[in-house]
A and B are shown apart, each in its own frame.
Chain A
Amino acid sequence: MGEPVEDKISELEEMARLCRIDIVKMTHAAKSGHPGGSLSAIDSMVALYGTIMRFETNNPDWEDRDRFVMSKGHASPAMYALLHQMGVLEENDLMTFRTLGSVCQGHVDMNWTDGVDFSAGSLGMGLSFGLGCALSARMDESERRIWVMLGDGETQEGQVWEAVMAANYHNVNNLRVIVDRNRIQNDDFMEVQMEIGDIGNKFHSFGWSVREVDGHNMTELVEAMHWTENTDSGPIAIIANTTKGRGVSFMEDNPEFHGKAPNNEELEIALEELS
């Protein structure tokens, strides 16, 4: 790296802060959407795109770009905020979130938005899709790597574990998963709904390389990204321990803000806290 490490970390933290502002603004404008899981996932997404992700803003369809599969597609505000910071989407686009004809569909959709590689909205499917991309990349002898963002609640879907098993069997070394471990799902805390337990251990037992990090510590996240670059034996999972709603006090660890937008008053408080 040609710049001091601390500067890079500060730059990424600032980028994540700007993304958070976009997340609360666009869900407020839409009067709907999923701020909680967007705010928990955004730091690891920024750490990825800000460091090792091969992505060209002016050429989002570049064949050998790395792929990002947002399997927890309800956290679309995080994706759109990130694409805004990356220069793909305009602020105006974000403000049309969830309205008719918008490039910012309710759940991320590859047919609607440049820079989106997967059409999500139904949990449990993204890792399988990523595996298909990974197998294709290997056949094509392409260097592209496939990143999949999973929610922890999402791992209750059986298909996730079909894919975890298959990825190891097919020994793909270009597939990387981030699990946004925020411990809250739609209805309530996971421990109330269906606790999954030690997710990292489960991936590990299927033959994956696993690293657990503080999903809001940019230094740890960036280190984990570089760690994946030096790990080439089979698929990799980063378990990012996070707080749902991170950065906005009344949303933090609050199941209510899984799928609820801030009202006018709440927006003001949120923006103040994020300023």
Chain B
Amino acid sequence: MSAPSSGGASRDGYGKALLRLSDDPRVVVLEADLGKSTKSCHFREKFPDRTFSMGIAEQNMMLVAAGMASSGKVPFASTFAVFTERAFEQVRNGIARPGLNVHICGSHGGIHTGSDGSSAQTVEDLSIYRTIPKMTVIHPCDDLSAEELTVQLLDISGPSYMRTARNKVPRMYDDQSKLSLKIGVGSILEEGADVAIIACGVMVELARKASSTLANEGINCTVVDMHTIKPLDTEMISMLAERCGCFVSAEDHSVIGGLGSAISEWISTNKPVPLEMVGVRDRFGESGSTSQLMQEVGLTSESICQAARKSIDRKNSS
């Protein structure tokens, strides 16, 4: 699986969204020397007076953003996902605790990032930000959904973290279908009654591939793009627990604390049904091509198929 030439990377969507948000004079952009990578550079080009370079100093960037938010601005601060983690306590104490409207974007997250190696391949960001009270956590699957969801951040109250991906993937949405996206509401891409595959980020494409393979075996899958990890759309999870009776989660993230954990936390205490998790199994990544690495850590459509079959078996044998 090489990166497709068409489609877009979710970081491109973030960059476009910032331009769309520029009509609101409260919007300001902060960078930590990675604007070209996170794609905030497009905003900088057009609005240099509203773009603030913080140098390679993420901790300072988070609190400058907090100070701006306390003064009525709506800051969008971006860097690599892993470098936002360097400022985790700043996000926790300086932004989230006072409930300030600061929107953090961490790009180049996940194993999918590829050859830069394990230092950049965050598999814990969704997990750690999910534990912070008042924090919205989003991980879109393509450029169009990233753009739409970023624009909607202006309407939410409190801080957010969005992970975007470095590499292009095929689009899951078009200009029309992206308009139905809403923060906090799962997006059903396929409907089937045998198993519900709940995916986020680059795994949404692989979930659809898996669904197509499973259809040939007579297994009908529901596929959900669960772009918002927190607040989790528990209404949808509840409905799917009734309809399908078993789940598969799929994420380019550790199985500890991410989307699968969030689903598990809810169903285990509300609607106990089988859940199989596809994700990174408590390990770091390494250098390699995206396709090699995804294979290496088990983030493939075949892993999703196997998990689906197992989940259905568990449902039927219970």
Contact = CB atoms under 8 A, between A and B. Distances in A.
Given A136-B72, A170-B52, A131 B59 contact: no
B55 A130 contact: no
A111 interface: yes
Contacts of A130: 67
A165 B73 contact: no
5 contacts: A119-B97, A125-B93, A132-B64, A132-B75, A135-B52
A141 to B, nearest CB: 12
Nearest to A170: B52
A128 B71 contact: no
A110 B68 contact: no
A121 interface: yes
A129 interface: yes
A159 B59 contact: yes
B65 interface: yes
B104 to A, nearest CB: 14
A101 to B, nearest CB: 17
Interface string A127-149: 01111111111011000000000
B191 interface: no
A163 interface: yes
Interface in B56-97: 57, 59-73, 75, 89-90, 93-94, 97
B298 interface: no
Given A109-B98, A119-B97, A162-B55, A125 B90 contact: yes
A128 B67 contact: yes
A128 B70 contact: no
A205 interface: no
Name B's interface SS.
Answer: helix
A129 B100 CA distance: 12
A269 interface: no
A125 B68 contact: no
Sort A-B residue pairs by CB-CB distance and give the 5 closest, nearest first: A132-B67, A128-B63, A136-B71, A162-B60, A162-B57
B288 interface: no
B67 A121 contact: no
B93 A129 contact: no
Nearest to A119: B98
A135 B89 contact: no
B93 A133 contact: no
B71 A132 contact: yes
B71 A133 contact: yes
A110 B67 contact: no
Size band of the interface chain A makes with B: 20 to 34
Interface string B16-38: 00000000000010000000000
A52 interface: no
A128 B93 contact: no
Contacts of A170: 52
Contact of A132 (B49, B59, B66, B93): B66
Given A137-B71, A159-B59, 9 more contacts: A122-B89, A124-B59, A130-B67, A132-B64, A136-B68, A139-B28, A162-B54, A163-B64, A166-B64
Contacts of B57: 159, 162, 165-166
Contacts of A69: 67
A124 B63 CA distance: 10
A128 B87 CA distance: 13
Contacts of A250: none
Contact of A128 (B28, B59, B75, B98): B59
A163 B60 CA distance: 6
B192 interface: no
B231 interface: no
Contacts of B50: 139
B71 A140 contact: yes
A117 interface: yes
B90 to A, nearest CB: 6
A139 B64 CA distance: 14
A62 interface: no
Q: Which of A132, A133, A134, A137 has the most CB of B within 10 A?
A: A132
Contact of B55 (A63, A140, A169): A169
A171 to B, nearest CB: 12
B170 interface: no
B99 interface: yes
Contacts of A125: 59, 63, 90, 93-94
A224 B59 CA distance: 30
